[in-house]
Structure 1
Amino acid sequence: MTAPTASRFTVRPLDPVADAELLHGWVTDPKAAFWMMQDATVEDIRREYGAITAHEHHHAAVGLLDGEPVFLMEWYDPRQVELVGLYEPEPGDVGMHFLVAPTDTPVRGFTRAVITAVVTELFTDPANRRIVVEPDIRNDAVHALNEYVGFEVVDKIEKPEKDAFLAVCTREGFQRSDAMREVVR
């Protein structure tokens, strides 16, 4: 099987009650260690995502491929959530997290297609000028994915739960990225 193109994915709002069991299986999977929810219960997930979906400045969605849930995406206003006081935000900054569902049958290029779809989705909002991420400095896999879609590391920051690289992706950086070059091929 070949990886789908980013345009084949759709997103729907996350339902913290209906999606709690699904998300529990994703965030507690050993490959999701950097999500830092390994010991979470289903009720913890309901509570956490209930708070996120109720928050004015933090949002979550489930990504679908052919109607099947395959990834989680979150986006937030870094002036209000997550990065407050850790960097100087610019107008149009939006923070982002994403998580691909675990699978027993990995497809080469799938996660690249997911992150491309997530960045594309966020840039559909004209108010979003830059996407900001803060992955754990030890998460080499996500650093490579971020670079693939045009993120550039701008700083190392200390968060309460981790040391992180602050990285930024502009619309222009995304358009010049390896992800977009592959779309043109």
Structure 2
Amino acid sequence: MTSPLTFTFRPLDPLTDAELLHTWVTHPKAAYWMMQDAKLQDVERAYMEIAADEHHHALLGLRDGEPAFLMEYYDPAHRELVGLYDPQPGDVGMHFLVPATHRPVHGYTKAVITAVMAHLFEDPRTARVVVEPDIANKAVHALNEAVGFVPEREIQKPEKKALLSFCIRDHFEKAVHG
């Protein structure tokens, strides 16, 4: 039997990590990240803005000390969802990106989103995680459901039609641990 995947997190460094991120976000499989045509400088600039923003944060997920995925979390009362729903105290918005690979590992992306959610819920102030994936991104809807998200409704963001979904701590625990 193989051991479960374990991940650690570190803050993203916009300058030293930009080249790696650029390869991830511009890959055709990262189309929903909406940075397909980004230049390296665009990626640096975008993540420098996040690094300077008190309401938006980017982390690299590491596997065996090596970058394995990107995680962003934000305060939806101030970023991304302002005016699109009524945020509650303890709401945290989340995005994650698993880079494309030539050798997919069954269950890997589910392990990543599970680690991301566990990391967010480690903060006792986090009451509910909010996501707003593209309505057409059926694969991420299934992953979200697998870790306890409940869709609420479709919303129109400036860049996409999205499925607003929420996950409370109890739903996450039941989805992951039964």
The amino acid across from 1:90 in the alignment is Q
**Residue 52 (structure 1) aligned with residue 46 (structure 2):** no
Match of 2:41 among 35, 38, 43: 43
Shift of 1:180: 2.5
Aligned to 1:163: 161
**Residue 180 (structure 1) aligned with residue 164 (structure 2):** no
Shift of 1:20: 0.3
Aligned to 1:141: 139
Identity of aligned pairs, percent? 62
C-alpha separation in 1, matches of 2:150 and 2:49: 30
Match of 1:128 among 121, 126, 133: 126
Match of 1:119 among 117, 120, 136: 117
Query: Which SS does the other structure have where 1:174 is aligned?
Result: helix
Per-residue Cα deviation, 1:99-139 (whole angstroms, up to 9, x for no partner):
00221110000000000000000000000000000000000
Query: Which SS does the other structure have where 1:169 is aligned?
Result: strand
Superposed, which structure 2 residues align to 1:18-29 within 5 Å? 18-29=16-27
C-alpha separation in 2, matches of 1:21 and 1:107: 24
TM-score by length of 2: 0.97
C-alpha separation in 1, matches of 2:157 and 2:82: 10
Instruction: Extract unaligned runs of 5+ from structure 2.
Output: none
C-alpha separation in 2, matches of 1:106 and 1:175: 26
C-alpha separation in 2, matches of 1:99 and 1:107: 15
**Contact 1:149 1:180 survives alignment (8 Å):** no
Aligned to 1:103: 101
Aligned to 1:5: 4
Query: Which SS does the other structure have where 2:140 is aligned?
Result: helix
**Contact 1:151 1:173 survives alignment (8 Å):** yes
Instruction: Extract unaligned runs of 5+ from structure 1.
Output: none
**Contact 1:94 1:132 survives alignment (8 Å):** yes
**Contact 1:115 1:145 survives alignment (8 Å):** yes
Shift of 1:68: 1.0
TM-score by length of 1: 0.94
C-alpha separation in 2, matches of 1:135 and 1:101: 17
The amino acid across from 1:47 in the alignment is R
